[in-house]
Structure 1
Amino acid sequence: MLIGEVARRSGVSTRMLRHYDSLGLVRPTGRTVGGYREYSDEDIRRIFHVESLRSLGLSLRQIGRALEDPAFEPSDLVGDLIRRTEDRLKREQELLERLRTVDASAPSGWQGVLRIVELLHGLTSPSAARRQQTVLAPAEDVPVPTELLVGAILTESDPNVAGALRWALARAGGDAVAGVAGGVHSDDVDIRRRAVLAIAEMSGDEANAALTDALGDSDAAVRGPAALAMGARGATAAVPTLVGMVVEGTNDVEAAEVLGALSRDPGCADRIMGALVGELAAHTADSAVRIRLTQALAEMPSALARGVLRHLADDEDRAVALIASALAVVLEERSDS
């Protein structure tokens, strides 16, 4: 079969077939009397082998090695191709997200596009100082669009930059909560934590709904900040998580203070006291937990806490007894004043 017919049947151009010949990849086994290339059935099968390997991303040099070396093992090469393809897809995904960000910002003219690109470079800089500066002092006194802040806050690991981003996002208004709320349901615990910390500084029903969802999170670093924020807003749904934080010793002082604020509501106070006393009874052998629970009782209304503290003043655990006795005196003095 002559080269023109091979090209028509295989879909490989005559120019590429000649290139294959020059590289030794597919050399026609015959020549016509006039000197034209003549391909056998075996040559055509080899052409299809070459094209199949090209479709996997192999270079012509790699294909030549794969077809000629009987000892060639494809596993290493395929693994390398997978890694390279994953890297390329990651770069293309980043480009896609960047284009979507530019589009969502609705820039007016190319100057607007360039401004967004400049902000993107600033927010993705390897320098934490530059990222922070981009947020706090954007060039030309143009605020950073909410879309950029949302994307940055869910990926930022530097605590100072993250704080600046939360500050800016809390003042951005618009769809800030909606943009970050999706992070509350991420599979990545770090993203969920960043989302909750950001939403905790926002107000409104949408923010409260997202924080309420986070109260049931499996990770303490997510549900803890959500409980502190919701408890500070008077949400009694945060009580079990706050009591759990006291037991676990995770921001237990802050949790106790929020429980104290919630206990100003008589209906909630009994519930909180019941939970704290119940945990005391459940942790009779853990001195550290009982000390934290005893200290948390000092945040409760004096009328409710004094009796429990007096009882704990006779506790078998000497440390618990001493702390309870001292706190009972403080509450009595507070009540008298």
Structure 2
Amino acid sequence: MTMSKQDTHTIRALQGLEDSRSSVRLQAALAVGTTPDPRFIDKLIERCAIEPEFYVREMLTWALTRHSSSRTVPKLILELRSERAQARSQALHTLSKIGDRQAWPGITRALLSDADDEVARSAWRAAVVLVPEGEECELAGVLSTQLGRGERETQLSLSRALIALGEVILPTLRTAMTDLDARVRQHAIATERLLRNPDAGFEFAIEEAKRIVALGGTSQEG
């Protein structure tokens, strides 16, 4: 029984995704995305969980977006329960790129407050893309529980996610501006500043927020 050209291509691509050379894995992911085949989906998702190179992971995600969302989304939602942080974060990242709101129920409060910063950041980005119309205020409330968390990169990610929801976040931010934790107050003020003046930059906004908190205030507008 002879092997068809398509079968040969499939085997070569699957082997390429596991090659020790990142350049070969990149080319294999590109080939899979260029010629989508449902047989590749499981391997692409499996590889996302363990791929060490960022640019290869991005190509794996792109390849997954080239397949039918009805096939990829349910499998990616299952990945959100993985014990491996990279599996969760990359699945979230891929779901945000696919943009199918059927994935929304998979974006749980547990993921939005995940102990791993990269997972949490990916969850925040996915949530603001997938949130159904009318549920933005509730999402803003959940996201606000993470104000003050982590270093600048993490705080900036959260601010961007909140700002993407628009002015519905203002009541939530104003509540956070009275929090007992100074870091929460600072982050809330900085996020409001960025919402009102996106060109200000996060560093400027956070330093201004620190000054306001140090002076015992909440917001210059308030």
Q: TM-score, normalised on structure 1?
A: 0.50
Q: Which moved more, 1:248-257 or 1:115-124?
A: 248-257
- The aligned amino acid for 1:203 is G
- The aligned amino acid for 2:36 is P
Mapped partners of 1:149, 1:117: distance in 2: 13
Q: Give how far 1:244 is off.
A: 4.2
Root mean square deviation, CA, Å:
3.4
Aligned to 2:178: 278
Aligned to 1:160: 55
Identity rate of aligned residues, in percent? 17
Of residues 116, 121, 125 in structure 1, which corresponds to 2:15? Answer: 121
- The aligned amino acid for 2:94 is A
- The aligned amino acid for 2:65 is A
Tell me the SS of whatever aligns to 2:12. helix
What pairs up with 1:31-110 in 2 under 5 angstroms?
A: 110=3
What pairs up with 1:254-293 in 2 under 5 angstroms?
A: 254-265=157-168, 268-274=169-175, 276-279=176-179, 282-284=180-182, 290-293=185-188
- Length, aligned pairs only: 199
Tell me the SS of whatever aligns to 1:278. coil
- The aligned amino acid for 2:119 is V
1:90-136 deviation digits (Å, cap 9, x = unpaired): xxxxxxxxxxxxxxxxxxx7224332221111000011111111112
- The aligned amino acid for 1:142 is T
What pairs up with 1:96-245 in 2 under 5 angstroms?
A: 110-111=3-4, 112-138=6-32, 142-143=35-36, 145-173=40-68, 174-212=70-108, 214-215=111-112, 217-234=114-131, 235-236=135-136, 237-245=138-146
Tell me the SS of whatever aligns to 2:177. helix
Mapped partners of 1:271, 1:290: distance in 2: 12
User: Which structure is larger by alpha-carbon Rg, 1 or 2?
Assistant: 1
In the alignment, structure 1 segments of 5+ residues that lack a partner are 1-108, 303-311, 329-337
Tell me the SS of whatever aligns to 2:87. helix
Over 3 Å counting, the alpha-carbon distance change for 1:271 and 1:134 in structure 2 is same
In the alignment, structure 2 segments of 5+ residues that lack a partner are 198-208
Over 3 Å counting, the alpha-carbon distance change for 1:138 and 1:196 in structure 2 is closer
Mapped partners of 1:278, 1:257: distance in 2: 21
Aligned to 1:251: 154
Structure 1 segments of 4+ aligned residues over 6 angstroms from their partners: none
Q: Which has the higher contact order (CA 8 A, sep 6+)?
A: 2
What pairs up with 1:291-310 in 2 under 5 angstroms?
A: 291-300=186-195
Mapped partners of 2:210, 2:3: distance in 1: 73
